[in-house]
Amino acid sequence: MGAFFHTFVYQPLYNILVLLYNVIPGADFGIAIIAITVFLRLILIPLYKKQIESQRKLQELQPKIKELQKKTKNDKEKQAREMMELYKEHKTNPFSGCLPLIIQLIFLIAIYRILMNISDAGLTIDSSQLYSFINNPGKVNQFFISIVDLTKPSVVIASLAAIAQFFQTKMLMSKTIEDKNKSSDQDSNQPDMAQMMSKQMLYLGPILTIVIGIKFAAGLSLYWLTSTLFMLIQQVYIQKKDTDSTKN
């Protein structure tokens, strides 16, 4: 599994990052990190849409799911069987949203390892990882826009990443609550665990981002900031598109 990951994920991304550094004017490694982040997010758009569609289908089924859970609360085996029948009837897989998350996590781990390895090597490119047609620039420029040292932690970039994550999570949480109110006449006395977890992540996620960001090289924070901003813009676009389609 490790060899597969290295050959088909780590090494291709490593070469793409070096290629971007070579071809983008200015020899700015920070710009190359931003470029490969946008590249990855563009590739993941279909998976992100699939994840959103899966979440919406499950949200629409919540009233029926709660009704079924209430009816079969004393028979867990019957509950599981009828739950699967409900998913099958509505052609919904509760685990279909997991695949996009797993793929995103794999890319995140790969980028993390690439940036850490390059950073630990003093921003010197490992020629053994390069394809024959990729030129080795040697030691890359460690400063982003001639200001931020990518080999050292950056409180500013980590803080910006945390702020972006806060608004991205808040927007996603607000949309989830809105959809829930439209599709369910939920019992106000019934605690919603998913909503409670989302509220916790609204603050926990950004706090963890800052804690991690001030300990690791700024290149990682820059990747996370770019990725979060991309997802934030993507959510704004999707919500605007949904609003326009509802009006029409």
**Euclidean distance between CA atoms 91 and 113, whole angstroms:** 38
DSSP secondary structure code for residue 139 in this structure: B
> Between 49 and 212, whose confidence is greater?
212
CA 229: distance to chain centroid?
A: 11
> Between 214 and 15, whose confidence is greater?
15
Of 8-12, 178-182, 236-240, the poorest mean pLDDT is in 178-182
Closest CA to 110 of 231, 247, 13: 13
Tell me the residue ranges of DSSP E strands in the chain. Answer: 143-144, 148-149
Averaged over 30-58, what is the pLDDT? 84
* % residues pLDDT > 90 (the chain): 29
Environment class of residue 212 by beta-carbon count within 10 Å: exposed (0-12), middle (13-18) or buried (19+)? middle
Q: How confident is the model at residue 34 (pLDDT cuts 50, 70, 90)?
A: very high
| pLDDT tens-digit series, residues 186-240 | 444 444 555 566 667 778 888 988 998 888 888 889 999 999 999 888 888 877 7
| pLDDT tens-digit series, residues 72-97 | 877 778 788 888 887 777 777 777 66
DSSP secondary structure code for residue 140 in this structure: P
Give DSSP secondary structure letters for 36-103.
Answer: HHHHHHHHTHHHHHHHHHHHHHHHHTHHHHHHHHHHTTT-HHHHHHHHHHHHHHTT--TTTTHHHHHH
What pLDDT, on a 0 to 100 scale, did the predictor assign at position 22?
95
| pLDDT tens-digit series, residues 104-146 | 788 888 988 998 888 888 889 999 999 999 999 999 998 899 8
CA 21: distance to chain centroid?
A: 23
Tell me the residue ranges of DSSP E strands in 107-177. Answer: 143-144, 148-149
- Note the pTM of the prediction, 2 decimals: 0.79
DSSP secondary structure code for residue 152 in this structure: S
Q: Give me the amino acid identity at 11.
A: Q
- Per-domain boundaries in the chain: 2-247
Is the pLDDT at 180 greater than 70, yes or no? no
Environment class of residue 173 by beta-carbon count within 10 Å: exposed (0-12), middle (13-18) or buried (19+)? middle
Q: What are the Cα distances from residue 129, in Å, to 18, 138, 145?
A: 10, 13, 26
Contacts of 157 (CB under 8 A, 6+ apart): 148, 213, 218, 221, 222, 225
What pLDDT, on a 0 to 100 scale, did the predictor assign at position 188?
45
Tokens of 234: 């993507």
